A and B are shown apart, each in its own frame.
Chain A
């Protein structure tokens, strides 16, 4: 039982990270119908920004909650700016063209960020400074939860609530929803769609950066290509939940995180060795889509002729 609880905690921890990143995918998709392949690399940029801030501001020497807070917010701001720049200079000019063109542009931006990071930061993994004294709190039996895990839960829940508030309770959120329903009509209603799109990119990028810094607290190895697989799985999480659907992204992220961990923990009992862990996310996705083609929470839009 304690092993089960432990695995659940482990799974939900990693799932929260996937969820944070998936939110960015899903929001951008909801508004632009664009798979932003560079989003995983924004997560990497967030982690690296946090790394340089923590080093530069001397937080590595004296860890504290304030230091972590400043690092977190700082890297979210930087990532938001990077996200806005990418939207402005790469995506906006091709927005009006075919989907394939925007997709290739996104892949190009992703490759550009990764290769630039390799050139600038070097390929060697770096160690993210510990900004919080890590303690472990035993629950019962062998089960325990660490401070960094609590932090990941706390911050991601707070950020998701904040996002929910922005989208459903503010004017700009209303505009976002309007744009995602119909971009042209929203424009006719006097909404500055360009601003809303840029805002969405900023918001999504900031969440990804938060994911990056939180992951780095939990697993301090950061390297330029860290965003590829994590980003891909987060994207899978977004599609699983129903792409374009905000609660769906959270659900998808948690589900994939938990499923991966349980395959590691219990897969051998049903004949799946843990070497298949990376295939789990995709298998679940395919199975779910076979029965719910629009994802778990996505609504199937009736086609009109």
Chain B
């Protein structure tokens, strides 16, 4: 089959599957069967977290920058789009409904909201990207964290979007939206990583000075990766807000950012499928721990967050490179018979090897470069 035909078939299959799942999640169900709303809700959050994790991976995993403020971009997307749908959505829908029908009108309005969310978040990404010109490593990390906190505090003080009480938002999101954007994010990030731009980003991660010496405008590319990543975080925020139908800054604290970082580190930094896997595990795990049994009058579910934190530490101690490391699940071993891709993924090098043979050689103090490399583990590739 020619490539484009394969892609079209693939897209059609994905859309059909999404429509089927969405029908299963609706009240009516599909052929008399349905997904329970609780599971459906978790599935929705899995989808939204996939967008967040895969997009953050572009900055942290592929460009090697150290951003821990993803929740801030998400908040901007959520709140800016909610402002649009709450204050203008209905009027626009009514205006459009006459021309194209009510269903299409609501799709169009939500598309506009998504666009607004993505644009605002991208703009914020640009603003945060500018200090990244000068800052390295942990300094950049704390600045992104600081920006996210400032965004949250500013939102708390804006009363038109609800302030501390929270903001009631109309519901537009269904699983088709979430699924399409999750797939879209994965495809876009994958294509970027495999493109020339992706090569540049990876070269920045591997050695910023060297890539600069090769004539690469590293600043431009770093800012670019920030903007793209923020835009996707914004989209995730739009989908989140219009699914939960209620926005509160309590959902966008820095713990939310940490959660996204945990997803990509758990799955394996620099692996798209790893980020997807991490998003699934980190979304499902806390809910699964609610099911812990009551034993002898003691409810183990009360300890679920302690167990969650403990598991996190244990995973880091036993599989520090993340579950997949930098490998891509499925991409390589399924296509072993075919010709190899140009080969960034699956060089098979990263087995989470220590940076150097001596266990203490964590940081290269002498050169002072340590603060630059968020991903020391890649050095020996």
Say whether A associates with B: yes
- Complex contact A111–B305 (CB within 8 A): yes
Give CA–CA (A278, B146) in the complex, Å: 10
- Say which one of B2-10, B15-23, B220-228, B354-362 lies at the interface with A: B354-362
Residues of A within 8 A of B25 (CB): none
Assuming the contacts A94-B320, A282-B150, asked whether A183 and B135 have C-beta atoms less than 8 A apart, the reply is: no
**Which residue of A90, A101, A116 is within 8 Å of B306 (Cβ)?**
A116
A303-B320 in contact (CB<8A) = no
4 smallest A-B Cβ distances: which pairs?
A301-B368, A282-B146, A98-B377, A111-B309
Q: Which partner residue on chain A sits nearest B308 by CB separation?
A: A111
Asked if A99 and B376 make an inter-chain contact with CB atoms under 8 angstroms apart, the answer reads yes
Min CB distance, B203 to chain A, in Å?
A: 14
Q: Which of A266-305 contact B (CB under 8 A)?
A: 273, 275-276, 278-279, 281-283, 285-286, 289-290, 293-295, 301-305
In the complex, the answer to whether B139 meets A104 with C-beta atoms within 8 Å is: no
Judge if A78 is at the interface, Cβ distance under 8 Å.
no
CB 8 Å contact bits of B296-331 with A (1 = contact, 0 = none): 000000110110111011001100110000000000
Q: Is A126 an interface residue (CB 8 A)?
A: no
Check if A187 is an interface residue, CB within 8 A of chain B. Answer: yes
Using C-beta atoms within 8 Å of the partner chain, give the interface range for chain B. 35 or more
Q: How far is the CA of A115 from the CA of B303 in the complex (A)?
A: 8
Inter-subunit contact A35/B138 (CB<8 Å): yes
The yes or no answer to A109 lying at the interface (CB within 8 A) is yes
A289 to B130 alpha-carbon distance, docked (Å): 12
Query: Cβ of A97 and Cβ of B369 under 8 Å apart?
Result: no
Stretch touching chain B among A132-140, A198-206, A232-240: A232-240
Report whether A303 and B367 are in contact in the complex, using a CB–CB cutoff of 8 Å. Answer: yes
A282 x B310 contact (CB < 8 A)? no
A185 cross-chain contacts in B, Cβ below 8 A:
366
In the complex, what residues of B have CB within 8 A of residue A182's CB?
365-366
A 224-243 to B, binary, CB cutoff 8 A, 1 in contact else 0: 00000000100110010001
CA distance A239 to B302 in the complex (A): 36
B147 at the interface (CB under 8 A from A): yes
* CB of B258 closer than 8 Å to a CB of A: yes
> Inside 8 A of A180's CB, which chain B residues have their CB?
365
Contact with A along B153-186 (1 / 0, CB 8 A): 1101100000000000000000000000000000
- Residue ranges of B at the interface with A (Cβ–Cβ < 8 Å): 60, 66, 131, 134-139, 141-143, 145-147, 149-150, 153-154, 156-157, 209-210, 213, 254, 258, 261-262, 265-266, 269, 302-303, 305-306, 308-310, 312-313, 316-317, 320-321, 352, 354-355, 358-363, 365-378
Taking A115-B309, A282-B145 as given, write out 10 further A-B residue pairs in contact, using a Cβ cutoff of 8 Å, ordered by the A residue number.
A98-B374, A100-B261, A100-B374, A101-B320, A103-B265, A112-B306, A239-B142, A279-B154, A289-B139, A304-B367
Asked if residues B302 and A290 are in contact (CB atoms below 8 Å), the reply is: no
Bound-complex Cα distance A141 to B374 (A): 53
Knowing A100-B269, A104-B262, A112-B309 touch, does A93 contact B317 (C-beta < 8 A)? Answer: yes
Chain B nearest Cβ from A196, distance in angstroms: 11
Q: A99-B376, A290-B134 are in contact. Are A35 and B316 (CB under 8 A)?
A: no
**In whole angstroms, what is the CA distance A293 to B138 when docked?**
11
* Contact across chains for A103 and B362 when beta carbons are under 8 A apart: no
What A residues does B370 contact at CB under 8 A? 33
Q: Which residue of B lies closest to A187 (CB)?
A: B360
B362 partner, pick from A33, A116, A235, A286, beta carbons under 8 A: A33
CB distance from B31 to the nearest CB of A (A): 43
- B150 with A279: CB separation less than 8 A: yes
B134, B309, B370, most chain A CB atoms within 10 A: B309
Q: Which residues of B contact A103 (CB under 8 A)?
A: 261, 265
User: Which A residue sits closest to B60, measured CB to CB?
Assistant: A100
The reply on A32 being an interface residue by CB < 8 A is yes
- Cα-based distance from A276 to B220 in the complex (angstroms): 32
Given contacts A107-B258, A111-B309, A276-B153, contact A239 B138 (CB under 8 A): yes
